[in-house]
Amino acid sequence: MRKFLKIGLVALSLVALPMTSFAQWMRPNNFTQAKGVTRIAEIKRFQAQNNLPVTGGLNSQTQDMLTNKNLAVYDLIKNPPSKGIWIAINKSRHTLTLYQGTRSIGKYPVCLGGPGTPTPSGKARIQNKHVNPAWGGMGGKYTPVPANSPNNPLGERWMGLKIPGKSGYGIHGTIKPHQIGQSVSNGCIRMFNYDVETYVFPKVLLGAPVYIGTDQELAKMGVRQIVEHVKPGQKPEKKEGKNQAKPVEKKPIEEKAKEKKLIPMTLY
């Protein structure tokens, strides 16, 4: 009887072993249980939150970030332009980061300008904000679209940018969320409607600084967004502006605004 009992215990341990061996540490995210377009959108958010290039695909970088606990994600900010809330837009990674002083308080995926109509680099400021804007059609190039229209390419939030030597650029929502992570706009910065309406528009004040550039250009402005390997059990040395990446709250990407206001715009 004891012999059969031992055999049974050994067999049970062999069955249990594969289950424990497949147990794996996983970084917080909202996409592993999602499907379809929601999964793609959440992968883009995960990539942005962890300083990865936004693609929407589960590539090797994203898989490594998901399961490798020895990857450290943080930002280094030298001489921030404000102690309050300001923005950095990374053209290399298709991300928009909200900072409060040196601290990252949110990272979001964006769509940027295409090769023929690139998003300009430089130090800008928020010069106007509008809820439910109308679209001016780029000065006659396209037919203007009124507010409340489902065809309005601006979505329901607009934050105009004051860029030295440039005009007509802004940060806004989109009616083409599948293009987030791409470079296809006429120069403006597009966001998921839910992200701009919930996290960015309400927090960013008029006059807030906005830094726009590639990894190299942002580094010259004092902004470095870092992913690095650390040894098992080793913590990265204390850094200013360290980013603790967290998944955004699970809510619908699209949420209609209540306020209404008309304003003609140029680019999108």
What's the CA gap between 245 and 107, in Å, rounded? 8
Six-digit token string for 14: 């062999």
Rounded to the nearest angstrom, the gap between the alpha carbon of residue 53 and the centroid of all alpha carbons in its chain is 10
Angle between helix 36-49 and helix 60-67 axes, rounded to 10 deg: 70
Six-digit token string for 17: 């072993």
Write out the chain's pLDDT in tens, 268 residues: 555 445 444 444 444 434 333 458 999 999 999 999 999 999 999 999 999 999 999 999 999 999 999 999 999 999 999 999 999 999 999 999 999 999 999 999 999 999 999 999 999 999 999 999 887 766 666 677 888 888 888 999 999 999 999 999 999 999 999 999 999 999 999 999 999 999 999 999 999 999 999 999 999 999 999 999 987 766 666 555 455 445 555 444 444 333 333 333 444 3
pLDDT value for 9: 47
Catalytic site residue 111? no
Residues contacting 226, CB < 8 A, separation 6+: 51, 72, 73, 74, 75, 76
- Active-site annotation holder among 111, 172, 178, 229: 172
Catalytic site residue 172? yes
Residues contacting 127, CB < 8 A, separation 6+: 160, 161, 162, 206, 207
- Supply the pTM of this predicted model: 0.82
- Active-site annotation holder among 94, 130, 188, 229: 188
pLDDT value for 203: 98
* Cβ neighbours around 23 below 10 Å, total: 8
